[in-house]
């Protein structure tokens, strides 16, 4: 069973967003059952996580800087992103969420 001993919290520089990129801050990170199999070398439909690299999965994030005309600061987005508090992503990696929906 995974525990905090299996994870490492690190700090790393985040590049400024380039053309068609966004700087986003994670609000929610999805932890799903399929991730357990990715924590081993077992054969799976997705590759195993790499030790020392950020995990990835479904992330809801807020845009904090935008270099894309379809996204503005404050937009909520959803994408298959890394488990990082702040990261730079290509705008094509995410879908804008309707913040007015219940």
β-bridge partners, 77: 61, 96
- pLDDT of the chain along its 102 residues, tens only? 778 887 888 898 999 999 999 999 999 998 877 776 677 777 777 777 777 788 888 999 999 999 999 999 999 999 999 989 999 999 999 999 998 877
Q: Are 79 and 21 in contact (CB under 8 A)?
A: no
Enter the DSSP assignment of 38. H
Burial class (CB in 10 A: 0-12, 13-18, 19+), 44: exposed
Domains delineated in the chain: 15-32+54-95 (3.90.180.10)
CA dist., res. 41 & res. 98, Å (int): 38
């Amino acid at each position: 069973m995974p525990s905090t001993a299996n994870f490492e919290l690190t700090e790393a520089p985040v590049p400024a967003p380039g053309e068609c990129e966004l700087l986003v801050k994670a609000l929610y990170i999805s932890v799903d059952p399929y991730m357990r199999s990715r924590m081993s070398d077992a054969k799976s439909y997705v590759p195993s996580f790499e030790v020392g690299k950020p995990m990835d999965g479904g992330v809801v994030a807020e845009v904090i800087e935008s270099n894309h005309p379809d996204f503005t600061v404050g937009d909520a987005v959803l994408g298959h992103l890394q488990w990082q508090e702040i990261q730079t992503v290509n705008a094509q990696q995410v879908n804008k969420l309707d913040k007015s929906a219940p």
